[in-house]
Structure 1
Amino acid sequence: MRLSRDFLLRIVGCCALAALSGCLNPGFGPSTRAEEPLNAPVTPVQSSALPGAANGVIGSGPVKVGLILPLTQGAGQSAVGLSMRNAAELALSEAGASDITVLVKDDRSTPDGAREATQAAINEGAELILGPLFAADVRAAAEVARGAGKPVIAFSTDMSVTSRNVYLLSFLVESYVDRIVDYAASRGKKSIAVMAPENDYANVAVGALQTSAARRDMRVAAIERYRAGGAAGAASKIAALGDQIDALFIPEQASAMPEVARALTANGLDARKVQILGTGLWNDSRVLSLPALQGAWFASPENAGFVAFAQRYRAKFGSDPTRVATLAYDSVSLAAALARTQGARRFSEEVLAASTGFNGADGVFRFKPDGGNERGLAVLQVNNGSTVVVSPAPRSLSGA
Structure 2
Amino acid sequence: MFAFLRATRKAGAHLAAALAVVGLAACEPIAMGNTGPAIDTSKPVAVALLVPRSGGSGDAIVSSALENAARLAISDLNGAKIDLRVYDTAGNEATTAEVTTQAVNDGAKIILGPLYGSNANVAGVAAARAGVNVLAFTNNSSLAGGNVFVLGQTFEDTANRLTSYAARQGKRRIVTVSAQTTAGELGRQAITSAAAANGASVVGNVVYSYSQQGVIQAATEVKDAVRSGNADTVFLASNTDAALPFFAQLLPENGVDPAVTQYVGLTRWDVPAQTLDLPGIQGGWFALPDPGLNAQFNARYSAAYGTPPHPLAGLAYDGIAAIGALVQQGNRDALTASALTQGAGFQGVNGIFRFRPNGVAQRGLAVATVRERQVVVIDPAPRAFGGAGL
Q: TM-score range by the shorter chain?
A: 0.7 to 0.9
Q: How many residues align?
A: 353
Mapped contact 2:365–2:381 kept (Cα < 8 A): yes
Tell me, in whole angstroms, the C-alpha distance in 2 between the residues paired with 1:77 and 1:132: 12
What's 2:231 paired with?
245
The alignment yields a C-alpha RMSD, in angstroms, of 2.4
- Distance, in Å, in 2 between the alignment partners of 1:186 and 1:61 is 49
One-letter code aligned to 2:350: D
Contact 1:191–1:221 at 8 Å: present in 2 too? yes
Match of 1:270 in 2: 257
Q: Label 1:368 to 1:98 Cα distance change in 2 as closer, same or farther (>3 A).
A: closer
Q: 8 Å contact 2:150–2:359 — kept in the other structure? A: yes
Counterpart pick for 2:198 among 212, 216, 234: 216
2:146 equivalent in structure 1: 164
CA distance in 1, matches of 2:199, 2:79: 50
Aligned-pair identity (%): 32
* 1:154 corresponds to 2:142: no
Displacement of 1:2 in angstroms is 6.7
SS of 1:280's equivalent? coil
Provide closer, same or farther for how the CA distance between residues 192 and 74 of structure 1 changes in structure 2, counting only shifts above 3 A.
closer
CA contact (8 A) 2:174 2:235 kept: yes
Q: What aligned pairs does 1:171-250 form with structure 2 within 5 A after superposition?
A: 171-227=153-209, 228-229=211-212, 230-240=214-224, 241-242=226-227, 244-250=230-236
CA apart distance, 1:3: 6.1
1:248–1:274 contact (8 Å) kept in structure 2:
yes
CA 1:216/1:172 → structure 2, altered by over 3 Å: closer, same or farther? same
SS of 2:195's equivalent in the other structure is helix
**Alpha-carbon distance, 1:190 to partner:** 2.5
Paired amino acid for 2:230: Q
From 245, 253, 260, the counterpart of 2:247: 260
Aligned equivalent of 1:391, options 371, 376, 379:
379
Deviation, 1:340, is: 2.1
Structure 1 contact 345–351 (Cα < 8 Å) conserved:
yes
CA distance in 2, matches of 1:3, 1:164: 28
Equivalent residue for 1:378, pick from 341, 366, 372 = 366
The equivalent residue for 1:297 is: 285
Look up the equivalent residue of 1:329 and give its one-letter code. Answer: Y
Q: Which runs of no fewer than 5 residues in structure 2 stay unpaired?
A: 1-8, 24-41
C-alpha separation in 1, matches of 2:57 and 2:375: 39
How far, CA to CA, are the matches of 2:199 and 2:94 in structure 1?
46
Q: Which runs of 5+ in 1 are unaligned?
A: 5-28, 37-59
Once the two structures are overlaid, the 10-residue window that deviates more, 72-81 or 132-141, is 72-81
| Runs ≥4 residues deviating over 3 A | 30-33, 74-77
| Equivalent residue number for residue 36 of structure 2 | none
Offset, 1:208 = 1.1
Comparing 309-318 and 194-203, the one that deviates more: 194-203
Alignment partners' CA distance in 2, 1:98 and 1:188: 47
Question: Given that residues 341 and 354 in structure 2 are in contact (C-alpha distance below 8 angstroms), is that contact kept between their aligned partners in structure 1?
Answer: yes
In structure 1, distance between residues paired with 2:308 and 2:197: 40
Aligned residue in 2 for 1:321: 309
Q: Displacement, 1:97?
A: 8.6
Larger relative contact order (Cα-Cα within 8 Å, sequence gap ≥ 6): 1
The 8 Å contact of residues 63 and 127 in structure 1, kept in 2 or not, is answered as yes
Structure 2: distance between partners of 1:74 and 1:260:
30
For residues 153-198 of structure 1, the C-alpha deviation after alignment (integer angstroms, 9 at most, x for no partner) is: 1111122221123111111111111111111111111211112222
Q: 1:216 to 1:2 in 2, by over 3 A?
A: farther
